[in-house]
Chains A and B, each alone.
Chain A
Amino acid sequence: MSFENFGVVSFTTETKASDFVNYLEKGKVMATRCRRCGTNYFPPRMDCPKCVGSDVEWFEIKGNGRLVTYTVVNYGPTGFEEDAPYTLAIADFDGVRVFGRLSKSLKESDIEPGMGVKVLPAKLPGGRIGYEFQKV
């Protein structure tokens, strides 16, 4: 499986980082790190512009992060009309910032910047796959 099944709607599929989706299938949300200069990347990327090299490795985003900010989107763009409302968010995992969605099981009154979250793969309708933040 690759990026054609990533997220609610995928717009393009080709990237050298397509193993990200294979890792999601195995239950892992991954980032990459440059083996030469140690820079971490999320979204993951296989090229490091800092030292202009492509010697990178995958690592798993584990443990608890902190919710930086969120918004409940009531009007989705094309392809997301039926999906709204949904909650977009950014969370920080030891300096690695991840953009994604908060679990739909959370009410807005349960959400607060600064709260602890973990990030996990999430099965989406139609055999698609993504990831989401869950409150810890």
Chain B
Amino acid sequence: MQDVAIVGVGQSIFSRKCGVSIGELCFEAYTEAMEGLDITNSDIDASIICSAPEYDKQRSPAGLISEYLRLTPKPSFYVETVCSSSSTGLRVGWSLIKAGLHRVVAVIGFQKMSDLSSREAAERMSRGGDIIWESPFGITMPAGYAMYARAHMAKYGTTEEQLAKIRVKNSHYGAMNYKATYRKELSLDEILDSEVITSPLKKFDCCANADGASCIIIAGGDVAKRVTNLPIWIVGLGAATDTMTMSGRESLTGLRCAQEAGRQAYEMAGVGPGDIDVAEVHDCFTIAELMAYEDLGFAKPGKGTELVDSKETYVDGKKPVNVDGGLLSKGHPIGATGGSQIRTIVNQLRGQAGEIQVQGAEIGLVHNIGGVGQYGNVTILRR
């Protein structure tokens, strides 16, 4: 069985309102992914379309997108694990190639959240928990993460200021990312003074809904080496789940799905946390980035704040994390996010990350979470 490489990566501009169709949005990501590759659309053997269906107006978007990108009559299908849909798509694509069924697969993630009114978006938010037992109490995504934040604070003494410092970092790098929704640097005081959404999380602890698309093109080793001189190898894949209900969680200071997916990915890649040169983690909220440091072994449980205080997760630190601005700056078009994270790491490992380049980066990690830790994917890539 041959190895599988990422040969092309692309994403659209992420914005609050894209003003184009979902096919056009995906085309923008697809164009960037195909740039410089020695293949055409007819070389793509299958497409995997990733999004969260509750935000789709179009029924069965895979059919529409495969037509718009002219990937018909090749197979196309839809994959969903909410916010981690496109890294789940990567996992599925990897196995299709590994099994010998296909040689080249396109993994396309998208979300056009501006198609919904804010009232419609709030209605979907109300159904994000277990609809019999937890939604009747008014649970929301931010509230779920806020309960993790409060538990982390109670157990480890983590402060609101330490959480805010994560947004300071990500806003610093977001200002450099021309594809990000928010490109303004925020000061510690601006973050701490922003209104409380769900205590202890404030407005600037939270990412925002956005429109966007991402595209990852993967190929078997022989094809990969022929179509690009910069293949990036998929060396570790981990995936796990946790309960839908918050009451089912054994721990409220870390995400078990991320711990388990990380363990699997490290084992498959034959590397450990200390070997990771650059990482993208799922910072839908500041607390989520902090827990990722600990869940992935970059810091011991309760010690992630030391990485924050010492600025070790900046580009020139020991463990650069989310130096593209993260979800907090880019915005979070649910189905597109995992692919955008993968794109950032691939560009780092190719040495093409521009002013956010981590010098000499050889091994990178992507941590992409669905829901409030219901689904977790950890992917390790190597130059």
Contact = CB atoms under 8 A, between A and B. Distances in A.
Interface of A: 3, 6-12, 15, 42-43, 68-80, 83-84, 86, 88-90, 97-101, 108, 112-114, 130
Contacts, number: 117
Contacts of A9: 126, 135-136, 138
A70 B137 contact: no
A99 B154 CA distance: 18
Contacts of B247: 42-43, 90, 97-99
B32 interface: no
A68 B139 CA distance: 16
Nearest to B150: A69
Contacts of B131: 11-12
Contact of A71 (B125, B134, B143, B245): B143
B252 interface: yes
B123 A78 contact: yes
Interface string B108-152: 000000000001001101110011111111111001001111110
Interface of B: 119, 122-123, 125-127, 130-140, 143, 146-151, 154, 195-201, 245-249, 252
25 contacts: A9-B126, A11-B135, A12-B132, A43-B130, A43-B247, A69-B148, A71-B149, A71-B200, A73-B140, A73-B143, A74-B196, A74-B197, A76-B140, A77-B125, A78-B123, A83-B138, A86-B137, A86-B138, A88-B137, A97-B248, A98-B247, A99-B139, A99-B246, A99-B247, A108-B199
A77 B198 contact: no
Contacts of A114: 154
Contact of B198 (A8, A69, A71, A97): A71
B123 A7 contact: no
A74 B200 CA distance: 11
Nearest to B247: A99
A90 B147 contact: yes
Nearest to A11: B131
